[in-house]
């Protein structure tokens, strides 16, 4: 059997880090800035220091998969970004499945093909960087799972049994080794939602793609992406889902922004708000609504907030 695919969170994080490098996500800082903010607030409450770097650029993964970029560029960009993290002697944490998946895949390719690593290093050396390959690439959701018990202890606003469904997103589950689940039957988000007091809902198309990455939403929206999303939302609606969580701002865009178009095309209401799991944890921690940024969502969270007894514009400090 091959090297280990699925590992326990204690193996991924033998010790909880004191400081982490948070990789800025383009979609996460522009389309849904509330996600990045929510992560910072939650980490503050959990006592973990966040480091970011303005020199870090886009991971270039999205347009690579749209075939607009060739691998040479993305390898160099990845090497440069990870070299910046390495200089700080930290491990890098992404909060976007896209950044996570592309960086990890490209780092893995450089690891397996030393000539590509050499090529990337030759390019970035001209800017004064060197990529060794020693920084580990994690996703923030893995840290949430590792800190499940600490999260449970800090909940001040339990979710009152809110029916929450999870969308894991493809780029996390598709990594082939050293991850929390390889797409078989993931349950780690459900466990986190459980400790927050929500009711997890398993719906049949839980592991279906959001259709956002690779740009098929631009090229094949009506032909493929919309029928595909329709199947997913139909399955979620039948299961009685009130809220959907993601761990990728890209998936958030794909699932949130497209719903009104689906309603128009298929003449069916879905009204399932989609937020990041960090924002849900933030809600449960009592982080003021203004800091969670639900303004950015297309499908509004009014019904959800009402059910949780949180008024709009309330900044409760419990």
Partner 1 sequence: MTTDLNKRALVVGAGLAGMEGALKIGSAGYEVYLVEKEDTMGGVTNKLYCSFPRWENPRQLLDDRITQINNTEEIRVMTGTVIKSARRDGDRFVVDLQKAGNQTEQVAVDAVVLATGFELMDASVYGEYGYGIYPNVLNSLEFEARLKEWSSGSRVDTPKSVAFFKCVGSRDRSKGYPYCSKICCMYTAKQAGLTRELLPETKAYVFYMDYRAAGKEYEEFVRSVIETKHVRYVRGRPAKVLPENGRLLVRAEDTLMGVPIEVEVDMVVLASAAVPRKETKALAEMFGAKTDQYGFLENESFNPCQTGDRVFFAGACGFAIETAGAQTQGAAAAAEVVALFNRAGQEAC
Partner 2 sequence: MPREKYRDHDEKSRAKVDPYKLVENLETCLACGKCVGNCPVASLTPSYNPRQVISDVLNGYTERWLNSEEIWRCFWCANCATNCPNDIMFPLLMIQLRYLATENKYGLKYIMPFKRFALRAREDGLTFAPSEKGREKIKRLRRNLGATSWPDISERAKTEYKELFDLTGATAYLESLSDEDERPVELRYTEGRITNE
- Which residues of the chain form contacts with partner 2 (CB under 8 A)? 2, 24, 26-27, 29-31, 33-34, 36-37, 52, 54-58, 60, 62-73, 76-77, 80, 109, 113, 123-124, 126-127, 170-171, 173-174, 176, 182-183, 207-209, 211, 213-216, 218-220, 223-224, 227-228, 290-291, 293, 295-296
Could you tell which of partner 2, partner 1, none binds residue 99, using a CB distance below 5 to 8 A set by kind? none
| Sign, Cα dihedral of 212, 280, 25, 188 | negative
Q: How far is the CB of 190 from partner 1 (least distance, A)?
A: 12
Among 47, 114, 161, 184, binds partner 1 (CB under 8 A): 184
- In the complex with partner 1, the residue whose CB is nearer, 185 or 218, is 185
Find the helix or strand (DSSP H, E) in which 163 lies. strand 163-166
- In the complex with partner 1, the residue whose CB is nearer, 114 or 184, is 184
- By CB under 8 A, tell whether 67 contacts partner 1: no
CA distances from 55 to 81, 83, 94, 129 (A): 8, 11, 16, 12
- By CB under 8 A, tell whether 228 contacts partner 1: no
Rounded CA separation 111/49 (Å): 29
Rounded CA separation 231/241 (Å): 14
- By CB under 8 A, tell whether 130 contacts partner 1: no
| Total Cβ atoms within 10 A of residue 155 | 16
Q: What is the distance of C-alpha 119 from the center of its chain? A: 30
Residue 49, beta-bridge partner list: 19
Q: Does residue 42 contact residue 95 with C-beta atoms inside 8 Å?
A: no
- By CB under 8 A, tell whether 15 contacts partner 1: no
- By CB under 8 A, tell whether 91 contacts partner 1: no
- In the complex with partner 1, the residue whose CB is nearer, 202 or 303, is 202
Write the DSSP assignment of 140-154 as a string of letters.
HHHHHHHTHHHHHHT
- By CB under 8 A, tell whether 11 contacts partner 1: no
Could you tell which of partner 1, partner 2, none binds residue 202, using a CB distance below 5 to 8 A set by kind? partner 1
- In the complex with partner 1, the residue whose CB is nearer, 23 or 172, is 172
- By CB under 8 A, tell whether 186 contacts partner 1: yes
- In the complex with partner 2, the residue whose CB is nearer, 33 or 133, is 33
Could you tell which of partner 1, partner 2, none binds residue 220, using a CB distance below 5 to 8 A set by kind? partner 2
Rounded CA separation 4/1 (Å): 8
**Residues 6+ positions from 66 with CB-CB distance below 8 Å:** 214, 215
| Total Cβ atoms within 10 A of residue 265 | 13
Q: How far is the CB of 204 from partner 1 (least distance, A)?
A: 5
- In the complex with partner 1, the residue whose CB is nearer, 6 or 63, is 6
Rounded CA separation 21/51 (Å): 5
Among 53, 91, 181, 191, binds partner 1 (CB under 8 A): 181
Residue 94, beta-bridge partner list: 23, 139
**Footprint on this chain of partner 1 (rule: CB under 8 A):** 1-2, 5-6, 176, 181-186, 202, 204
């Amino acid at each position: 059997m091959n090297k280990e695919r699925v590992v326990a969170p204690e193996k991924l994080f033998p010790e909880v880090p004191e400081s982490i490098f948070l990789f800025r996500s383009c979609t996460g800082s522009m389309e849904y800035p509330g996600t990045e903010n929510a992560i910072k607030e939650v980490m503050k409450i959990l006592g973990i220091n966040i480091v970011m770097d303005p020199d870090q650029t886009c991971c270039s993964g999205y347009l690579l998969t749209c075939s607009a970029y060739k691998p040479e560029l993305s390898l160099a960009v990845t090497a440069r970004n990870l070299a910046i993290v390495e200089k700080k002697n930290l491990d890098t944490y992404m909060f976007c499945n896209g950044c996570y998946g592309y960086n990890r895949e490209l780092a893995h390719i450089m690891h397996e093909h030393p000539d590509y690593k050499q090529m990337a290093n030759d390019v970035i050396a001209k800017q004064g960087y060197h990529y060794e390959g020693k920084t580990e690439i994690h996703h923030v959701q893995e840290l949430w799972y590792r800190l499940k018990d600490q999260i449970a202890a800090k909940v001040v606003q339990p979710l009152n049994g809110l029916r929450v469904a999870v969308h894991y997103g493809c780029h996390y589950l598709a990594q082939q080794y050293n991850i929390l689940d390889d797409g078989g039957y993931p349950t780690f988000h459900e466990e986190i939602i459980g400790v927050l007091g929500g009711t997890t809902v398993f719906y049949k198309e839980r592991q279906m793609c959001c259709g956002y990455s690779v740009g098929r939403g631009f090229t094949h929206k009506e032909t493929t992406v919309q029928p595909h999303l329709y199947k997913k939302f139909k399955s979620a609606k039948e299961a009685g889902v009130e809220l959907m969580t993601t761990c990728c701002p890209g998936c958030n865009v794909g699932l949130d922004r497209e719903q009104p178009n689906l309603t128009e095309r298929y003449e069916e209401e879905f009204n399932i708000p989609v937020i990041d799991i960090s924002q849900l944890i933030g809600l449960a921690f009592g982080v003021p609504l203004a800091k969670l940024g639900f303004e950015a969502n297309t499908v509004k969270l009014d019904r959800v907030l009402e059910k949780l007894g949180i008024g709009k514009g309330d900044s409760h400090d419990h």
